Amino acid sequence: MKRDAKNLTNAAALAVFWLAGLTTVVVLGAVIGYVLVNGVGEIGLEFIFTNPHGVNAEGGIWPTIVATLYVTGLAMLIVTPVAVLAAVYLAEYAVQGRLVRTIRFAADTLASVPSIVMGLFGLALFVESMGFGFSVISGALALSFLMLPIVMRTTEEAIRAVPKYIRWGSYGLGASKWQTVSRVVLPAAASRIITGIILSAGRAVGETAVVIFTMGTMINLPVLPTDPGRSMTVHLYQLAMEGINMPAAFGTALLLMAMVLAFNLSARWLLRRNRRMQG
Amino acid sequence: MSEALDCPSPGVPSADGEVKITVRDLDFHYGDFHALTGISCDIKARSVTAFIGPSGCGKSTFLRCLNRMNDLIPGTRVDGTVLLDGQDVYGPGVDPVDLRRRVGMIFQQPNPFPMSIYDNVAYGPRLHGVKKRSELDDIVRMSLERANLWKEVKDILDRGGLTLSGGQQQRLCIARVLAVQPDVLLMDEPCSAIDPTSVQKIEDLMAELKSSVTIIIVTHNMQQAARVSDETAFFLQEQAGEPAILVEFGRTAEIFTSPKDKRTEDYITGRFG
Ligand SMILES: Nc1ncnc2c1ncn2[C@@H]1O[C@H](COP(=O)(O)OP(=O)(O)OP(=O)(O)O)[C@@H](O)[C@H]1O
Ligand SMILES: [Mg+2]
């Protein structure tokens, strides 16, 4: 009797867990499926490589793709040196005490600032005070604030994950601390650091609030960093909210998802390859 | 506490050979934990000295005192004297970075850097300013030959060091250390994580190297200690929480056949048993 009841509870609990787990998969499948069904008809070479034209934004979305990749790439260039240097300092040099805890806490808090607030801040600081106007550089700077804590923390963890045996090997050959960090520790941590950068770039590609405030909404092909531009996310938002061109909105959405997915997959691939190499 | 060991005064060569390292009254602390006390011994130049003793008795700790690797662990303290060629290792004006080049170290876990075989071996010489390719080529080849690895890797020098087998990796690490031409080689259980063929090759290379290098090896394998070493030091921590001592130090043949101390005898017979 008692045994049966126990088995029954077990089975019930298992079923609940299973259902909960399944929900995730179903939700993901539904989102992807919905966007795929509605957007796939739109996508083709013309959609990707030509400019939109007319009041209904027919044609392609090329300038928004360029703007998105441009602003993301620039943000990566800005954030990488700062984040890596900060992480090296935190992991290798700083005396582990109040200051370091404060910096870490600040990074974690920075990571949780709502992106629209970051956008507002970017508008005030880069667009207005510093006079960059709505531009790719304003967008990249604001995005780099968003990416900074992610890249810094993943880099710090990557550096800490380098086994002490490897450091000792270097010290044992008469290397100084900086030589050890720059020639052995950073290369050993490189693929995990790059993974962190790619993941944060995936986040930046999907960001809307920050870029709408800092890069503007003009559809043009940005060439100089001081040119304004419209990101894919912003384009999608406007097409859909103003009911201009739903098929193009879905096509953009699908492309956007494919890009984010590509970022995440390449990050995973790098990590996996690295794990294989290090045994 | 430690029995007084008969040691000549610091730096004076003993009857049967020049002294490379002299240790007097060494005490070591990890923060509040007193790990070693009253260690005194003379390590002879161009010979192999084995450190034996139960797990946790401070063999690795002592080894790291000899090249100041313990400096890298925060909160540690060394008291007493360590002389290398008569010069105080802990004295003012001694650069630990420079010392570690002269006193190389091999660890239990092979630890090649994530770079090519060639770059692993060239790492040390490059640090110390060797830039010319032909010079580096020579050093790399010679070091790999001395480490008994050249034949196996001469055609794959640009492959990653981590792609080698564990035993090859360990010999790569030995080559890497030899490339900076140390006087002393500290080996902390270098053979406990690798295959028997490589163990054989490492024991062979130790025998070859000792004509030019002073070698200290920590090992749990009594047969290995008996095979490779000229002298043996037995460490023991008698009570948990108490610092470990150096119980007996002498010629390997004597330690293994007629130890003076009952505790040495018990340990060795237990381990051979
Ligand atoms: N970094 C450290 N901080 C604090 N205590 C340590 C540290 N490293 C070692 N110890 C302690 O010092 C004592 C000696 O350790 P050590 O590693 O030198 O022993 P060992 O003889 O090499 O042992 P094994 O044969 O297992 O390698 C042990 O009690 C150990 O717990
Ligand atoms: Mg040890």
Residue B8, pLDDT score = 44
Q: Is A96 found in the same domain as A182?
A: yes
Q: Is A53 found in the same domain as A9?
A: no
- Of A83, A206, A97, the C-alpha closest to A147 is A83
Task: Please name the member of B98, B111, B128 whose beta carbon is closest to the beta carbon of A165.
Answer: B111
Q: How far is the CA of B84 from the centre of ligand 1 (A)?
A: 24
Query: How many CB atoms are located within 10 Å of the residue B196 CB?
Result: 9
Q: Is A50 found in the same domain as A35?
A: no
Smallest CA–CA distance, residue B110 to chain A, in Å, is: 8
Residue B11, pLDDT score = 43
Here the ipTM equals 0.82
Q: Is A211 found in the same domain as A121?
A: yes
Residue A209, pLDDT score = 92
Asked if the Cβ–Cβ distance from B100 to A168 is below 8 Å, we say: no
Domain encompassing residue A130:
46-278
Query: How much is the pTM?
Result: 0.79
Chain A contact set for B98 (CB, 8 A): 174
pLDDT tens column, A222-263 = 999 999 999 999 999 998 888 888 889 999 999 999 999 998
Residue A148, pLDDT score = 94
Smallest CA–CA distance, residue A101 to chain B, in Å, is: 19
Q: Is A197 found in the same domain as A170?
A: yes
Q: Is A104 found in the same domain as A24?
A: no
Ligand 1 close to Cβ of residue B13 (< 6 A): no
CATH hierarchy code of domain B18-110+184-268: 3.40.50.300
CATH number at residue A189: 1.10.3720.10
Q: What is the number of structural domains in chain A?
A: 2
Quick one: tokens of A152? 């810094």
**pLDDT tens, residue order, chain A (279 aa):** 567 778 888 888 899 999 999 999 999 999 999 999 999 988 888 889 988 887 777 888 999 999 999 999 999 999 999 999 999 999 988 887 888 889 889 988 998 999 999 999 999 999 999 999 999 999 999 999 999 999 999 999 999 999 888 999 999 898 999 999 999 999 899 888 998 999 899 989 999 999 999 999 988 899 999 999 999 999 999 988 888 888 899 999 999 999 999 988 988 888 787 665 554
Smallest CA–CA distance, residue A190 to chain B, in Å, is: 10
Taking the C-alpha atoms of residue B91 and residue B84, their distance in angstroms, rounded to an integer, is 11
Mutate to test the interface with B, among A95, A173, A179, A182 (most CBs of B within 10 A): A173
Kindly give the number of the ligand 1 atom that is closest to the alpha carbon of B189.
27
Q: Is A150 found in the same domain as A30?
A: no
- Of A251, A219, A254, the C-alpha closest to A234 is A219
Q: Is A31 found in the same domain as A115?
A: no
Chain B contact set for A176 (CB, 8 A): 97
Residue B83, pLDDT score = 96
Q: Is A115 found in the same domain as A12?
A: no
Ligand 1 close to Cβ of residue B72 (< 6 A): no
String of DSSP letters for A171-229 = HHTT--HHHHIIIIIHHHHHHHHHHHHHHHHHHHHT--HHHHHHT-S--S---STTS--
Interior CA angle at B103 toward B97 and B109, to 5°? 95
Q: What SS3 state is found at B56?
A: coil
Q: What SS3 state is found at B266?
A: helix
Chain A contact set for B100 (CB, 8 A): 171-174
Residue B1, pLDDT score = 40
- φ, ψ of residue A140 to 5 degrees: the values are -65, -40
Q: How far is the CA of B52 from the centre of ligand 2 (A)?
A: 10
The low-confidence residues of chain B, meaning pLDDT below 50, are 1-15
Residue B247: HSE in the Cβ half-sphere, 13 Å Cα cutoff: 24
Kindly give the number of the ligand 1 atom that is closest to the alpha carbon of B62.
18
Q: Is A10 found in the same domain as A73?
A: no
Task: Please name the member of A170, A174, A279 whose beta carbon is closest to the beta carbon of B162.
Answer: A279
Percent of chain A topping pLDDT 90 = 59
